[in-house]
Structure 1
Amino acid sequence: MTGSSSGAGPARAARDGSGRWWTAMRWAVPVLAGLALYLLPQPEGVKPGGWAVLAVFVATVLGLILQPMPLGAVALTGLTVIMVTGILEPAVALSGFAEPTIWLIVAAFFISVAFTKTGLGRRIALLFVAVLGRRSLGLAYGVALTDLVLAPATPSNTARSGGVVYPIIASLSEQAGSRPHDGTRRRLGAYLTITAISVNTITSAMFATAMAANPLAQKFAGELGIEISWLDWAVAASVPGLLALAVIPALLYRIYPPQLRDTPDAPAQARARLAEAGPMSREEKIMAGVFVLLLLLWSLGSQLWGLPATVSAFVGVTVLLVTGVLTWGDLERERSAWTTLTWFAVLVMMAGQLQKLGVIGWFSQTITGATGGMRWEAAFVLLTVVYFVSHYAFASNTAHVAAMYGAFLTAAVATGAPPVMSALVLGFIGSLYGGLTHYASGPAPVLFGGGYVTLAEWWRLGAVVAVANVAVWMAAGAAWFKILGAW
């Protein structure tokens, strides 16, 4: 026993030493990267404080990747640094917590709790299993088709993904014995989650009304004399979009497969459980009514009654509270919602300040100026790739489109690229990069907050899907645009 103990001591010490070294590195990399960037000369055109915000933003993003502390703690640290150093006034630094999109995400988490608590999510999941449940791949295509059907009438991709798709995924995973934190996440939940964000970026790109930033891109294009109607957008996106929806779930099934693949008995079991469940309960009926109400409000509320998507979401949450379907305790216990509120609000604030303080404008001018003298084909490919990759610095599709779409479209047209094609492709990209990171778009933190996919997996798979999407949309899109006469 003495020998065993003496051998375990050095081994444990080595493990502890290695752990301390890795912890130190996870702190050192963000801090040193932020300091190094801060010490570089501030470019002309960047307003005072802009370069410092960029330094803290980069350090915070690296901290979120390496996680020397939990996500919320890392974000609060970055927020504190910005306030203590006087880079931004507290009122400005805390403004991200007043961002409506952030609270839409929080409300989506609460709605998903009601889906699970009432059992309606389980009932919907069983219906999916009964129809498509013989294989996990079939369930993934069911998620894709659900998103596609809802997309044209749901301008908020966050509401669509967080309020509709995510609860179904959670219930399907639970039914399959796949949970986030007990070692079973890869059984089914992880695959469905990463598929959901990937297909959401595709469906968001397919219709001008499927994502909030798409009408903004239409507006910017119109200001340059390039008119794109709703039908123009849908027709142009139809072929590459449908092809991408067919390819991406199968690609993820191959490179990130669920442990549970074939479930031949699942449909019969699902039908049996539906029979055992019997008629819908009062709570399920209320939840179903709220669900339909939310779809109506998200689809038509802003046009008919001037209700933003966030207000509509809180209408649904309030109805659930008043009717007793949810309690305040349910909301308090939803830790993922409050954690997501913290880190996403900080990132959205920083990204907004980078735009206001001229950092994004400087970046756009630098990149677009590099295309001088190139053939339009090569210049256009370069611009689209740079525009896509630059989304790593953004926590919002809308912010990215608002900051850079006009500049990149202007540069593309200046190189000789066909105007309509340029406007459409850059418009599509404004949705397609929404799955690059766990903060890249509104749906991303909702799905990431479910806990099924790790941070490293999300970033790796986000890059792989991005490459696949660019290949499909560039190749199929170019051929389809040629048929349509767009170039």
Structure 2
Amino acid sequence: MKNLEKVNYRGFVLPLVCGIILWCMTPLRPAGLSLAAWQMFAIFVATIVGCITKPLPIGGTTLIGLIVTVLVGLAPIKDEVNPKTGVVTSGILSAFSNSASWLIAMAFIMAYGISKTGLGNRIAYWMIRRFGKRSIGIGYAITALELILGALIPSNSARTGGVVWPVTESIAKDYDSLPNDPSRKKIGAYLSMLAFHANILSTALFITGAAPNMVASQMAAQKGYTMTWVSWFTAALVPVIVATIVIPLVIYRIFPPEIKETPNAKKWADDRLSELGPVTKPEKVMLAVFFLAIILWVLSGIFKLPQLDSTFVAFLAVGLLLLTGVLTMNDALKQTGAWNILIWLSILIFMASKLISFGFIDWFSKSIQMGLHGISWEIVLAVLVVLMFYTHYFFASGTAHMTALYLPFLSVAVATGAPLGLAAMLLAFTGAINASTTHYANGPASIIANTGYIKQGEWWKLNFILGIIYLLIFGVIGSLWMKIMGLW
């Protein structure tokens, strides 16, 4: 007899309590806020809390939130047109036409080709062979590897868990640096911390670096600011370059490895490359399709041609990988991460759009603006960035955090006079660098913090220091660079 699948029913308690309390407060809602706006807010908050407590995987949790939205009459199934006013009410099925969700889903499928063909490991071994004579060189090689994979693999957890961490672990163990052992400090602890922060940098560099980036781009679009692959990359380039130079050096100084010279690293990488053999035809095709996608993404940002829409480019790349035999349709269907993100990202963006259409976000920003009257936008934006960073201590999901706070914070910043482009990008970058907080901050943190190479106290102490450095680099240097770019 088959048993029922386990469900974390306890995880429903807090979301239900939050949602019910807010719903019951409807008669006490602030003046100027419609009934629908407050009820949508209650469901949205309950859904976000559910994404944190995880009674179901995030896709299932958001699906329950969407079902409740329909049951209480806040959204129809299909788009409906009011015959008298001509106003269109968006139905829940329109949520799944969101281009950003499809873009990242297709990028997930593309990324599978990197691991299937072995191209990711080949790049990793080549980087170690080139820069691995000293431990700090290996650190920079891992950072460079992450930055390359950031353009190839749209999941920060997949980059760390699938390629970077296995390579890092292999190097550490080759030097007899073992987890949960005093030998961890030989080189394993240093490389583990470096690998985590390399992931933060790769996430910040590309709009496809992680799901929260795509949430930010969609939220910003609802305020009238468009983020393209090129515009994000250009805005992130200088602060990420500075951080790429500074962060590994800081880690090397405050958390140094006992082993400074690593002459065996080149031989280790050579042996692994020999095992892989010459570059295969699937690897060559995968690389060619990837570069084609990058070129078309760049052109789409320059020429704004509808035929070069970034989502269509992702579809085209997947189609080419299927046509050339690098991937099969079965490979595409097995990428559960792609289809999972398509569901929950579409739903969260749809629910946020309902908060806008019902007037909640406009009310919120105007209310805050009145309270901040007389305070310069520079101070307001700085406070919002710091809040966006440190409130991540209360979130175990970057996506939930971004969905909950990005749009309200952006609205407040703009309402107090902050330039839209500067505020949109600074808050979006903060959603990437705020992973430098806890051992549960995101997927890569959970992977690396639990390997046994870094103690929890070390993790919190080091990341607190590094977090301040990130805020200074992106807040000061990033803002100056965006000024030069003309974003404000």
Per the normalisation by structure 1, the TM-score is: 0.67
Q: What does the per-residue CA deviation read over 1:261-303, in whole Å, with 9 as the maximum and x for residues that have no partner?
A: 9975333221233234333222111111111111111111354
- On the 8 A contact 2:128/2:138 being kept in 1, the answer is yes
Deviations 1:421-468 (A, max 9, x none): x66752541331332789xxxxxx9x949984799x9xx999987655
Is residue 357 from structure 1 mapped to residue 358 from structure 2 by the alignment?
A: yes
The whole-number CA distance in structure 2 between the counterparts of 1:405 and 1:464 is 26
Task: Classify 1:34/1:409 alpha carbon distance in 2 versus 1 (closer, same or farther; 3 Å).
Answer: same
Against the structure 1 CA distance between its residues 201 and 171, is the aligned structure 2 distance closer, same or farther, given a 3 Å change threshold? closer
TM-fit CA distance, 1:78: 1.3
Which range is displaced more, 44-53 or 370-379? 370-379
Change (3 A) 1:200 1:164: closer
1:280 match: secondary structure: coil
Gaps of 5+ in 2: 1-5, 79-90, 171-178, 208-212, 436-440, 451-455
Comparing 92-101 and 159-168, the one that deviates more: 159-168
Partner residue of 2:295?
296
Counterpart Cα distance in 2 of 1:200 and 1:339: 22
Letter of the 1:162 partner, please give it: P
Q: Which residue of 1 aligns with 2:324?
A: 323
Going from structure 1 to structure 2, the CA distance change for 1:389 and 1:277 (only over 3 Å counts) comes to closer
- Match of 1:90, SS? coil
Partner of 1:154: none
| CA distance 1:375–1:177, change in 2 (3 Å) | closer
Q: Distance in 1 between matches of 2:109 and 2:445?
A: 12
CA contact (8 A) 1:239 1:480 kept: yes
Q: Does 1:470 align with 2:471?
A: yes
Partner of 1:11: none
Distance apart, 1:85 and its partner CA: 2.0
Pair 1:430 & 2:427 matched: yes
Q: How does 1:210-359 map to 2 (within 5 A)?
A: 241-248=240-247, 265-304=264-303, 305-306=305-306, 307-359=308-360
CA distance in 2, matches of 1:412, 1:432: 20
Q: Is the 8 A contact 2:129 2:270 kept in 1?
A: yes
More off after superposition, 64-73 vs 398-407 = 398-407
CA-CA distance at 1:396 after TM superposition: 10
Kept in 2, the 8 Å contact 1:400–1:430? The answer is no
| 2:416 is equivalent to residue 411 of structure 1 | yes
- Following superposition, the deviation at residue 315 of structure 1 comes to 0.7
What SS does the aligned partner of 2:416 have? helix
Does structure 1 retain, via aligned residues, the 8 Å contact 2:361–2:408? yes
Sort the Cα spacing of 1:303 and 1:477 in 2 relative to 1 into closer, same or farther, 3 A: closer
Change (3 A) 1:374 1:163: closer
| Residue 478 of structure 1: how far off its partner (Å) | 8.4
> One-letter code of the match for 1:28?
V
Q: Name which of structure 1's ranges 30-39 and 140-149 shifts more when overlaid on structure 2.
A: 140-149
Q: Among residues 7, 25, 32, which one is paired with 2:17 in the alignment?
A: 32
Moved more, 461-470 or 84-93: 461-470
Measure, in 2, the Cα distance between the counterparts of 1:464 and 1:63.
31
Which whole-Å CA distance do the structure 1 matches of 2:51 and 2:377 have between them? Answer: 38
Match runs of 1:49-88 below 5 Å: 49-88=36-75
The answer on whether the counterparts of 1:146 and 1:165 sit within 8 Å (CA) in structure 2 is no
Contact 1:46 1:359 in 2 (8 A): yes
> Are the counterparts in 2 of residues 298 and 309 from structure 1 also a CA contact under 8 Å?
yes
Q: CA deviation at 1:245?
A: 3.6
Q: Distance in 2 between matches of 1:478 and 1:72?
A: 35
Task: Work out whether 1:171 is the aligned partner of 2:148.
Answer: no
Label 1:38 to 1:288 Cα distance change in 2 as closer, same or farther (>3 A). Answer: same
Write the letter of the residue equivalent to 1:352. S
The alignment yields a C-alpha RMSD, in angstroms, of 5.2
TM-aligned CA distance change 1:348 to 1:462, over 3 Å: farther
Return 5+ residue gaps in structure 1 as ranges. 1-19, 151-157, 179-183, 222-229, 414-421, 439-444
Match of 2:30 in 1: 43
Structure 1 stretch displaced more, 123-132 or 39-48? 39-48
1:370 is aligned with what amino acid?
Answer: G
User: Cα offset for 1:51?
Assistant: 1.8
Q: What is the alpha-carbon distance in structure 1 between the residues aligned to residue 164 and residue 237 of structure 2? A: 29
Give the 5 Å matches for 1:154-169. Answer: 162=154
Q: Which has the higher contact order (CA 8 A, sep 6+)?
A: 1
Distance 1:335 1:117 in 2: 15
Alpha carbons 2:200, 2:433 under 8 Å: kept: no
Q: SS in structure 1 opposite 2:273?
A: helix
**Do the aligned partners of 1:67 and 1:74 also contact (CA within 8 Å) in 2?**
yes
Task: Please show how residues 84-95 of structure 1 align to structure 2 within 5 Å.
Answer: 84-91=71-78, 92-95=91-94
State the one-letter code of the partner of 2:297: W
Q: What is the Cα deviation at residue 356 of structure 1?
A: 2.1
CA contact 1:110–1:331 (8 Å) conserved in 2: yes
Aligned residues: 422
The answer on whether the counterparts of 2:205 and 2:237 sit within 8 Å (CA) in structure 1 is no
CA contact (8 A) 2:142 2:195 kept: no
Give the C-alpha shift of residue 80 in structure 1.
Answer: 1.4
* Contact 2:361/2:411, CA 8 A, preserved across alignment: no
Specify the alignment match of 2:104 in structure 1. 105
| Contact in 2 for aligned 1:365/1:407 (Cα 8 Å) | yes
Letter in 2 for 1:408: A
Letter in 2 for 1:275: S
**AA paired with 2:328?**
T
Q: Tell me, what secondary structure is at the counterpart of 1:43?
A: coil
Whether the aligned pair in 1 keeps the contact of 2:23 and 2:39 (CA below 8 Å) is yes
Match of 2:205 among 203, 206, 209: 203
Q: Percent identity?
A: 31
